[in-house]
Structure 1
Amino acid sequence: MALFDKKTEQKLNDLIEKAYDAEKGYKAVADHVDNPRLKTFFLDKARVRSGYVNELTGTLRTSGMDITENDGSFSGSLHRAWIDTKAFFSIDNDESMLEEVKTGEKNAIEDYNDILDHYDLNPTVRAILLKQKTEIQASYNKADYLEGIQ
């Protein structure tokens, strides 16, 4: 018997791919800010998202699920290119980058809510996703706060 149905497996693989995209995105944003506090914030968030990928991948593999190997999504690559373009043309670079982060975090929260609300997950996976979603919400709140003090 499979651990998850195919639709749930695809959704979990998508979540891993998006976490990987977020990690790369945070690194890209960190390259475009001058403020050391923001650079540290973005690099820390990249490290956290890498941890999400490893935590979820490890748990799912241990449970017997096949994980789709990836190096990010096409849409994630497009978003990073958009960040690069926006940074090039933006007058207020730091605020612009924080706005991009908030958009990404809001989308991630929606993805987590979708899988938590509409898919059958075992208690271990559900607990991991709830923890990660809570941390992403805190990250969104901090980005909002940092944007306000810029």
Structure 2
Amino acid sequence: MEKNNEIISDLKGLVNILNDGKEGYASASETTENPELKGIFATYSSQREAFAEELKTHLNEHGGDSENESGGVLGALHRTWIDIKQALSSKEDAAILGAIVTGEVAAIEKFDKAIEHPEIHTDHLELLQRHRTAIQQALSEIESFYHRAVSAAQ
């Protein structure tokens, strides 16, 4: 039973951070004036929403639920995504991208913690690894845009 509680706790935390990412990307998409970034942010927002839904299925299979659709308490900490709000108010792409990088790094750290215990997450380990890989790819793309935006601003 303790293992199941740990699974539920880990999955809830991951769903929360995915919801934070979904909201952060959606806000960034609405704020940036760069059409390319708008599209990328909207795509990643949808991706995070789909990932959260996949994890909710596993959460339900373990007897847990996630009633939170807009991020978590961790989100208060993590809402570096909401530091995006400060970045968004400036409408500067470099600031928006920098805040997103911070949020994605935090998401990867959260996934890494869960993946560190494959014995706990055996029935959904492949799913966690797939999500983590996709988030890492998104991070790489966002970092590339960030570095270009910073260079352009100098």
Structure 1 length as normaliser, TM-score?
Answer: 0.86
Q: Distance in 1 between matches of 2:2 and 2:50?
A: 23
- Matched residues, number: 146
Closer/same/farther in 2, CA of residues 3 and 75 from structure 1, 3 Å limit = closer
Deviations 1:20-49 (A, max 9, x none): 111011101112211000010100000000
For the 8 Å contact 1:105–1:140, the answer to whether it is kept is yes
Give matches, 1:1-150, under 5 Å.
Answer: 2=1, 4-61=3-60, 63-71=61-69, 72-76=71-75, 78-89=79-90, 93-118=92-117, 120-150=119-149
Flag structure 2 segments of 5+ consecutive residues without an equivalent.
150-154
For the 8 Å contact 1:8–1:120, the answer to whether it is kept is no
Q: Distance in 2 between matches of 1:108 and 1:134?
A: 11
RMSD of aligned alpha carbons? 2.1
Flag structure 1 segments of 5+ consecutive residues without an equivalent.
none
For the 8 Å contact 1:3–1:65, the answer to whether it is kept is no
Q: Distance in 2 between matches of 1:136 and 1:80?
A: 15
Q: Distance in 2 between matches of 1:126 and 1:82?
A: 31
For the 8 Å contact 1:8–1:119, the answer to whether it is kept is no
Question: Percent same amino acid at aligned positions?
Answer: 22
Letter of the 1:88 partner, please give it: S
For the 8 Å contact 1:98–1:143, the answer to whether it is kept is yes
- Counterpart of 2:152 in structure 1 is none
Structure 2 length as normaliser, TM-score?
Answer: 0.83
Q: Distance in 2 between matches of 1:28 and 1:60?
A: 27
